[in-house]
Chain A
Amino acid sequence: GAGVSQSPSNKVTEKGKDVELRCDPISGHTALYWYRQSLGQGLEFLIYFQGNSAPDKSGLPSDRFSAERTGGSVSTLTIQRTQQEDSAVYLCASSLEVLGGYTDTQYFGPGTRLTVL
């Protein structure tokens, strides 16, 4: 079946502009995650959705970052007033519902490479 898809695959923007990144999870996966991969910081967790709610937003680096998920499916990560340090690859992952604290396998999308000039 189809895997996790993300769009756009590449985004170049100017400092100060807003950007939206989209993630389509695997059908039937209720859990969705956003991560960021950058040279200086490695792979960092940003936010976790279970259904449409986000019980863990602890990784969002500032209030310029926000995310939402609608219909228990598609998610959008929005970065307002982008800065050069936001340049990174933004990865989305999804998994089946987690029960009893067991972390199920997360399947990753190809990522969106964001470059802020």
Chain B
Amino acid sequence: GNSVTQMEGPVTLSEEAFLTINCTYTATGYPSLFWYVQYPGEGLQLLLKATKADDKGSNKGFEATYRKETTSFHLEKGSVQVSDSAVYFCALGGATNKLIFGTGTLLAVQP
């Protein structure tokens, strides 16, 4: 069945460091791919998405490219801020429209 494997955390970085959170998936067909973010004490928010191979999703300085050949959708940001501290979830949109989530990666950015 469809599944998402996400880099385990926590990830601790200093402000202005480069961020990569790895995400790979297993799926039949051509799923949509998403990154959601959960800030402390808040609900899940969509960060970015990509709906087909080679699409790049981007938002708030974060980027992820849908790579069909490596079945990956890694999240990157060139310079993180303290305000980026949150839990990040990679997700796959399956044939029945439900989202299948990775386990989440806690990012802590220190000043």
Q: Which residues of A come within 8 Å of B, CB atoms? A: 31, 33, 35, 42-43, 45, 48, 55-56, 58-59, 91, 93, 95, 98, 101-111
Contacts and interface: CB of A to CB of B under 8 A. Distances in A.
A11 B46 CA distance: 26
B99 A103 contact: yes
B94 to A, nearest CB: 7
B81 interface: no
A11 B94 CA distance: 31
B40 interface: no
Interface range on chain B: under 10, 10 to 19, 20 to 34, or 35 or more? 20 to 34
Interface string B3-35: 000000000000000000000000001011010
A45 B43 contact: no
Contact of B97 (A35, A59, A103, A108): A103
A108 B98 contact: no
B49 interface: yes
Contact of B94 (A103, A106, A110): A103
A56 B96 contact: yes
Contact of B31 (A33, A103, A105, A106): A103
B32 A103 contact: yes
A91 B91 CA distance: 15
